[in-house]
Structure 1
Amino acid sequence: MTVKQRTTVSVSTSVLLTIGSLVIVLCVGFVAFFMNWEKANEQFNYRTKTIVQTVSQRLASADAALITLIGLSQATEELNSALLTPISEKLIERFPFITSISYLSLLTPPEIESFLAEMRNNGMPQFQLQPFGSHKADTLPDCFTKKCLITTFIEPLEPKTARQIGMDWWSDQRFRTMIFEAVTTNGPALASSNSAIEFLNPHMMLRPTYFGNVTPRSLAERQEQLSGVFLLTIDYPALLEFKLEPMSELSYSLSIIDSNGEEQNIFNTENTNGSNRSLMLGTLEQSQTFNLGNQNIRLDIIGWPIKDELRPLSVLFSMVVTAVLLYAFSSIWLNRRLAAAERSAAQEQLFQEKDKADVTLQSIGDGVITTDIAFRITYINPVAEILLGRTFSQIKGRFISEIAPFRTKESGQVVENPFTYYMGAQQSRNTPTHLVLAHPSGREISIDCTVSHLTNRVGNTIGSVLVMRDVSLESELTSALAYQASHDALTGLLNRNEFENRLKEMLESSRIQKSQHALCYIDLDQFKLVNDTCGHLAGDNLLKQLASILQAQMREMDVVARLGGDEFGVLIHHCGLDRALEVAERLKQVIGDHRFKWDEKIFDVHASIGVVQITHDIDTLSDLMSAADLACYTAKDMGRDTVHAYQPNDKEIAHRHSQMQWLPRIQEALHNNEFKLVTQRIVSLQNNTDPHEIYEFLLRWPQGDGSQVSPGIFIPAAERYDLMRNIDRWVVQNAFSLIEKVHAEYVPLRSRLYSINLSGQSIGDPKLAGFISSQLKRYNITPELICFEITETSAIANYSTADEFIRQMLTIGCQFALDDFGSGLSSFGYLKQLPVSLLKIDGQFVRDMAKDPVDRVMVRTIQDVARALKLKTIAEWVEDEQVIDLLREIGIDYAQGFHIEKPQPADKLLVLS
């Protein structure tokens, strides 16, 4: 072969080799581009899964916060801002994406009246309710004929959020649907409002609350027992904030998918900064669905790879140029280059795996510590650095027992090695899993841990990993709930529920060990006088002082509790009756020695105490509490400031016990509508009186055998057990119903007045005025037709509340009469102060006035005083015509008694009309 041919072959070979090299290089470039895309896509998928898991955990934490608040509401008798504020502050501090926590109360019209009165009395005289989304003072929701869902608490209470107080959420159809869905599914509800209200965060999560201590199981029960809603507002930008190394620019879309498959988008965000996007690699998309309670939530994420990820393409371009230039010089050099590329790829893959592990450990909310086989620290993540109060560089290679003392929460026992401790705990269910970690700052952190072994390829153990979770907040909330469930919020003493638990234990001890203990039931005498004179703040202060006095008198083993109102209970361990009476006398004495001072006023304090011996022959807790209650109120009947011991054969106890038997009968009569109303006509004695006639409603209780229970028998029992408020409300409602029929079916009788009696208990009820107002509207009754009667004794005993109540009724338009006037020693002094319009003269002065000159003088004197005060008078117990003549002569305006008319069934008013 000639030189020319060899040259030609050589050139041809070179050309072929060059072309082949170019083809190979181009193929390699395509494969590199594809691998680069796969790498970006893999990293994007991994990070989106991490993001979705974090969002799901954060929303679950918000739901856990709602469940915590519901647990608090079920554990306490009265839900108020003093209980909700501290826990709400901790939850908002713990979860930055929660912007506010509020409670919406489902209120009836009477409860709304009380809420309005309370807000106006608390310094907001112009306070009004407002429909959802309104802030106009002249816009009022229809909350006086139906229930409304009112914001009664919000935290933080700031000028912006405070405008939600009094807002009726029930008026918004979208929000009602959201509540019904939560009631139906018995879970949380997540939604976004379309409202453009400037002071309302539109992104919300809620859970309903129900009456009672447990959540009802059936849908019907949940709908019936719905009492309100706990509502969180969520800052979605904060919820979707993540501290990850930048891989791509992201935008988010959060949607709710209902049971029909329909979607509701509740939040969108888009990263609009496109300066660093890689247009060559396009966009990456990922959708993940997770559950929140019974709702399906979908998070859509769109990413744009950044330009930094194009560096492998630049390297590829350099490789192509270098490969073409170097191919002509040395194939050996190419092989070495390929080997170096393989090593680089392996290192890159190893770096990626390490980067994934670092991102995971940096992102999780738990502390992670890894050690070698000798338990020397080889790694800790940032959360562990925070929990331990030290950086990794400070503790690398050291034993954990040298840097962080652990101890058990219950016993305080030091745990030298938490790794071996938790390995044993996983095998024994009796070992506590909660430990307390002492932080260098002095703070103690409650943690829960898990331990796992690290192994190599062949399964040999090469170290251990400890995962620590901070449960301090959960521990604090659990402790706070346990304390609130067992202690009285005002005095700090045990509450009635915990007192009864201790009493059960003591009763069981008596049965098993045949030991003797004692129960003292303490009720303050005339405590209401302090409240009425100085206000409830003074009364609360007195209760706290007495709680401290009682605790100071008892041994550490004994129990002191507040049972409610002005009642206290004391349990004395290992004590006979004689010794218990001595202790009770000492308690009565120290209470009597206390002088309560308030606003330059000084009050004497006294108490009545009932003592019961706890022995093995007492059957139930109910019997024991009933005996103590009987003994205490027997002490009150004996003159107050007295100690009385329960004895089964005691006559006074027997009398009290007979009163107790009326309690279920009265309750059953109210429930079954067994009471009946009668009316007694009051006639005019003068020609110029207006109204011309008055009808007084009276209460009767007919029995199945035709007899009737005298009010003188069951009324004292109803007063003793605080049932008169319910009876009075029954009378008002049924009387108003009858009056409506009379004035609807017949010509309105303008010269007629209807009189209804109210007890002293009802006068002291702050909700009674709202109830009467709502009933007047319900039955469309003119208030001027109604007159309420209270006895002189009740008015004097409850003077401040009686005066306030009478003025409230006068504002509405009702009238007031003072019954049994003259029976008290201070009648005329109080008469000048009370704004009544009618005086009913005590019948004991009227019945025999024709025979007794002293009675005639008393009646004449009362009439003279009434005329001076421009009041009209009614004489009771008129039983003959001679008395009528005398009354007319004296100038008495009206007369009432059997001589005029005996009480008639109230239905006869329809016939008379």
Structure 2
Amino acid sequence: MDAARTRVLIVNADTREAGRLRGVLEGTEAQAMSGHLFRVECVTSLTDAAEQLTRDDITIVLLDLALLPADNLETCGQIRALAPDALLLVLAEAGDEARARAALQCGAHDFLLKGDTDARWLARTVGHALERRAAARALRFSETRFRAISDASPLGIVVTDAQGLCTYTNDAYQSMSGLDARHVAGRHWSCFIHPDDRARVQLEVAAVLQSAKTFSGEMRLLQRDGEVVWARMHAAWMTDDGAPQGCVQTVEDITDRKKAENALLQAEEALFDERERAQVTLNSIGDAVIATDSQGRVSYLNQVAESMTGWSAPEALCRPLSEIFAVIDGTSRVVATNPAERAIAENRRVGLAMDCLLVRRDGVELPIEDSAAPIHDRRGRVTGAVIVFHDVSQSRAMAIRMAYMAQHDFLTGLPNRALLTERLAQAIGQAARHHKQVALLFIDLDFFKRINDSLGHAVGDQLLQCVAERLIGCVRATDSVCRQGGDEFVILLAEIEQPQDAAGVADKIHQAFLEPQQVGGHTLQITLSVGISVYPDDGNTAEAMMRNADIAMYHAKAQGRNNCQFFTPEMNERAVQRLLIEGGLRRALGNQEFRLHYQPQINLASGAVTGAEALLRWRTPDHGLVSPTQFVPIAEECGLIVPIGQWVLREACRQIRAWQDRGLCVVPVAVNISVVELRRPGFAESVARILYETGVPPHLLELELTETRLMQDAESSMSVLRSLKSIGVKLVMDDFGTGYSSLSYLRRFPFDVLKIDQSFIHDLDSEDGDAGIVGAIIGMATHLRQKVVAEGVETEQQLALLRIRQCDAVQGHLVGRPMEADGFAGLLAGGMPAR
């Protein structure tokens, strides 16, 4: 029974009043009114009350306000602290209500006026107080439970007032916002939304909540440290009689989901890009591509495959590959093995047989090359095949064309050297079996370079084409006319009976070219030099016959051109000698095998040395001294005359400078210049550079040019001569009288000196000599104000006759042999007696 009673502690100094209150509460009327059974205990002091509260479980405390100090009501708080779960009711006298209300501020739950403490009123007041405490406990429990649920929820929860200010947030939301409850409370819920999303979300929430609907939407939250959190929010109004009192929001962190969605989107974009790239690539490549499933049904065609097969992709899909990709053997015309079936069955890459034809949908046949490979899934199982193929019509035509071009000359269409060698070897083999002979004619156009240089390469090419046509017209259908290269042609005469047959063809060729050629508006007279070698006498291999015919052709050129020469062993000896000289020339400059000798020129009037000619000498370590007549023409032919000529110019100038440095009275030195050098671009500039680098005055250098070579292209030669003249060097026409220069050209050429060719001087003292010609040359030179030098003077009578005809100067063994630089220096220092 005691356990079921509500324990009450009355704290009152007035024991009689305390007893009355006790009686009231323990009475049946109070129990009936309150619904509680009370067990009442009384104490008369606060100290006793504190002790009692510490010891017993008191539910209600009735405290007489009179026990509390008038200016200090803190005792109420102390009692509450001792019994935090007890109801503290204060008993006050009538008129002391203000102090009673102050007690409420200090911890009391309610107050009673002592005049209202009858059984009914006291019981009702205590009952109401107990009910309020129970309700408060229930509310606290509800709040505690709500907070526990809220804090345990993975969703963020935000409670706002009607103005949108936060009144509550759970741990999950604080984690999302990056703020604790202190920083969140009292702030508007939208301030945590990312600035880029804030205005949108505010408008959406306002629009939805005004229509009494629940809001749902996605947004970004911006944490204090700048971290962005993606969230999905649900919001609903809390109302009281329809009036909004606040809002409850649940916020879900969807950052991971967004990341996953973004990753998925990126993967989808990447997959789309990859598929698009693959599609564009497959449609951009030149090859056709067809894919099949494991059953051989078409699953894909690119645009090239559509074009080549004649099937569009929608039409071809799911059809058997053999229907779309119909392939036959180009030779047997039977259906070719399906490469995709083999690739699937054998699980390996396979290729189509050679010479296969794709039969297009419209029946057109295309030569193709292809390969097929299996397609695997991620487990490595074969799921289909892909065929890649392309049209090889052009490449095969190109291969045929390339094979033809490899064996034929691109300009004339004639067989080239490679095909000639092959045919010559076959002809030799056939002639050996049939006991026949084979002739090879090497043909070179005379002075073709002059035509090329003067009229241009276009005219030169047309001329070569015309020559090819005329040569073809001079031989049998079984013979071969080939172009060796440049202006050289070769004719192969298969199975002739005797060498005279080859001579007859050569004569026929010369006769065919007697008629001038009409090329590019020009009338050109062409002559040919022909060399002939005959199997088996002149060689039993293709290489030997070609080499010997070439040697014979060069011999024909040496014999004055426009003739035909058969090969002889002596020609071979000369050719070998020529090769030795050419090889020696190529190393002579590096080995310093060249020397200059100087032959004096004597003034006939004074007898003094007035000039010298620098003469090139070549002394080889193996063969000794080689005559210039032997090596200079070879140097001109192989192009070595240019570096050799540059060395001669520089060495002569260097020597002139050395004589000057010794204080000698230096005379002009003449250097022979080849026409090949003269026509080389920049020749005049190279002469000026050498003079500048060696420090030689230009008037001490004379350049000698042969009349015959000079007149081969008089106009271009004149331009170079004028450039040289402007430098200040002297120009000498060598071997005058042997060429074909007209007086008009001679007058226009800026020469300072004419050298009478020694062939005229040799016969000067004979009865039928050339005295009249020499006199005429001297008279003409005098009229043109040019100095005359007679070269090759060897007798006193020649010297006397030249003096009579008032020749300016002479040169020859009689007056001075060629000597080395030191010897000529002595001559300059000591002088020479007059004659």
Do both share a fold (TM > 0.5)?
yes
Q: Give CA-to-partner distance per residue, 1:454-491, whole Å, 9 cap, x none.
A: 23466442211345799999999999999988776655
Q: Is 560-569 or 863-872 further displaced after alignment?
A: 560-569
Distance 1:585 1:744 in 2: 62
CA, structure 1 residues 463+619, in 2 after alignment: closer, same or farther (shift >3 Å)? same
Contact 2:532/2:552, CA 8 A, preserved across alignment: yes
Distance 1:518 1:480 in 2: 30
C-alpha displacement at 1:794, in angstroms?
Answer: 1.9
Distance 1:778 1:437 in 2: 75
C-alpha displacement at 1:754, in angstroms?
Answer: 1.0
Distance 2:308 2:489 in 1: 45
C-alpha displacement at 1:866, in angstroms?
Answer: 0.9
Contact 1:760/1:798, CA 8 A, preserved across alignment: no
Distance 1:430 1:391 in 2: 23
Correspondence list, 1:706-717, <5 A: 708-717=625-634
2:660 matched to 1:743?
Answer: yes
Distance 2:176 2:302 in 1: 34
C-alpha displacement at 1:403, in angstroms?
Answer: 6.5
Aligned partner of 2:525 in structure 1 is: 604
2:550 matched to 1:629?
Answer: yes
Correspondence list, 1:313-332, <5 A: 319-321=232-234
Contact 1:763/1:802, CA 8 A, preserved across alignment: yes
Q: Kindly provide the amino acid, as one letter, of the partner of residue 698 in structure 2.
A: P
Distance 1:643 1:421 in 2: 68
C-alpha displacement at 1:880, in angstroms?
Answer: 3.9
Q: Kindly provide the amino acid, as one letter, of the partner of residue 23 in structure 1.
A: L
Q: Give CA-to-partner distance per residue, 1:681-728, whole Å, 9 cap, x none.
A: 1122346x9x97111011223466996333344445555655544543
Contact 1:546/1:591, CA 8 A, preserved across alignment: no
CA, structure 1 residues 853+556, in 2 after alignment: closer, same or farther (shift >3 Å)? closer
Aligned partner of 1:358 in structure 2 is: 275
CA, structure 1 residues 19+782, in 2 after alignment: closer, same or farther (shift >3 Å)? same
Correspondence list, 1:202-351, <5 A: 319-321=232-234, 351=268
Correspondence list, 1:677-826, <5 A: 677-686=596-605, 693-702=610-619, 708-718=625-635, 723-746=640-663, 749=666, 752-766=667-681, 768-824=683-739, 826=741
Aligned partner of 1:903 in structure 2 is: 818
Q: Give CA-to-partner distance per residue, 1:776-808, whole Å, 9 cap, x none.
A: 344333333211112222223343443343233
Q: In terms of Rg, which structure is larger?
A: 2
Distance 2:540 2:590 in 1: 30
C-alpha displacement at 1:839, in angstroms?
Answer: 0.5
Q: Is 340-349 or 609-618 further displaced after alignment?
A: 340-349
CA, structure 1 residues 775+646, in 2 after alignment: closer, same or farther (shift >3 Å)? same
Q: Kindly provide the amino acid, as one letter, of the partner of residue 761 in structure 2.
A: V
Aligned partner of 2:594 in structure 1 is: 675
2:421 matched to 1:503?
Answer: yes
CA, structure 1 residues 341+892, in 2 after alignment: closer, same or farther (shift >3 Å)? closer
Contact 1:532/1:800, CA 8 A, preserved across alignment: no
CA, structure 1 residues 615+887, in 2 after alignment: closer, same or farther (shift >3 Å)? closer
Contact 1:518/1:576, CA 8 A, preserved across alignment: no
Q: What SS is found at the alignment partner of 2:668?
A: strand
CA, structure 1 residues 547+740, in 2 after alignment: closer, same or farther (shift >3 Å)? farther
Distance 1:684 1:852 in 2: 26
Contact 2:339/2:371, CA 8 A, preserved across alignment: no
C-alpha displacement at 1:16, in angstroms?
Answer: 5.2
CA, structure 1 residues 707+522, in 2 after alignment: closer, same or farther (shift >3 Å)? closer
Q: Kindly provide the amino acid, as one letter, of the partner of residue 461 in structure 2.
A: D
Q: Give CA-to-partner distance per residue, 1:855-890, whole Å, 9 cap, x none.
A: 332222111111221211111222344443443342
Aligned partner of 1:23 in structure 2 is: 155
Correspondence list, 1:307-456, <5 A: 319-321=232-234, 351=268, 354-355=271-272, 357-362=274-279, 364=281, 366=285, 369-380=290-301, 392-393=313-314, 395-397=316-318, 419=340, 451-456=372-377
Distance 2:470 2:492 in 1: 15
C-alpha displacement at 1:602, in angstroms?
Answer: 1.5
Q: What SS is found at the alignment partner of 1:904?
A: coil
Q: Give CA-to-partner distance per residue, 1:261-316, whole Å, 9 cap, x none.
A: xxxxxxxxxxxxxxxxx999xxxxxxxxxxxxxxxxxxxxxxxxxxxxx99979x9
Contact 1:788/1:817, CA 8 A, preserved across alignment: yes
Q: Is 504-513 or 666-675 further displaced after alignment?
A: 504-513
From 592, 602, 606, the equivalent of 2:513 is 592
Contact 2:702/2:732, CA 8 A, preserved across alignment: yes
From 443, 446, 458, the equivalent of 1:525 is 446
CA, structure 1 residues 852+620, in 2 after alignment: closer, same or farther (shift >3 Å)? same
Distance 1:883 1:313 in 2: 121
Distance 1:547 1:27 in 2: 103
CA, structure 1 residues 387+763, in 2 after alignment: closer, same or farther (shift >3 Å)? farther
Aligned partner of 2:185 in structure 1 is: none
Higher relative contact order (CA 8 A, sep 6+): 1
Q: Give CA-to-partner distance per residue, 1:631-661, whole Å, 9 cap, x none.
A: 213334556444444354xx56655565555
C-alpha displacement at 1:603, in angstroms?
Answer: 1.8
State the percentage of identical aligned residues.
Answer: 27
Equivalenced residue count is 621
CA, structure 1 residues 600+370, in 2 after alignment: closer, same or farther (shift >3 Å)? closer
CA, structure 1 residues 565+350, in 2 after alignment: closer, same or farther (shift >3 Å)? closer
C-alpha displacement at 1:851, in angstroms?
Answer: 4.9
C-alpha displacement at 1:372, in angstroms?
Answer: 1.8
Distance 2:334 2:822 in 1: 78
CA, structure 1 residues 880+640, in 2 after alignment: closer, same or farther (shift >3 Å)? closer
Distance 1:472 1:347 in 2: 47
Distance 1:312 1:775 in 2: 88
Distance 1:583 1:405 in 2: 61
Q: Kindly provide the amino acid, as one letter, of the partner of residue 908 in structure 1.
A: G
C-alpha displacement at 1:816, in angstroms?
Answer: 1.5
Q: Which consecutive residues of structure 2, in runs of 5 or more, have no partner in the other structure?
A: 1-133, 158-169, 178-194, 198-216, 222-228, 239-253, 830-835
Contact 1:678/1:905, CA 8 A, preserved across alignment: yes
Distance 1:867 1:874 in 2: 12
Contact 2:582/2:635, CA 8 A, preserved across alignment: yes
Q: Is 786-795 or 502-511 further displaced after alignment?
A: 502-511
Q: Kindly provide the amino acid, as one letter, of the partner of residue 634 in structure 1.
A: H
CA, structure 1 residues 728+476, in 2 after alignment: closer, same or farther (shift >3 Å)? farther
CA, structure 1 residues 845+594, in 2 after alignment: closer, same or farther (shift >3 Å)? closer
Q: Give CA-to-partner distance per residue, 1:126-172, whole Å, 9 cap, x none.
A: xxxxxxxxxxxxxxxxxxxxxxxxxxxxxxxxxxxxxxxxxxxxxxx
Distance 1:343 1:716 in 2: 89
CA, structure 1 residues 756+553, in 2 after alignment: closer, same or farther (shift >3 Å)? same
C-alpha displacement at 1:374, in angstroms?
Answer: 4.3
Q: RMSD between aligned alpha carbons? A: 6.1
CA, structure 1 residues 660+452, in 2 after alignment: closer, same or farther (shift >3 Å)? closer
Normalised TM-score (structure 2): 0.58
Contact 1:697/1:754, CA 8 A, preserved across alignment: yes
Contact 1:561/1:570, CA 8 A, preserved across alignment: yes
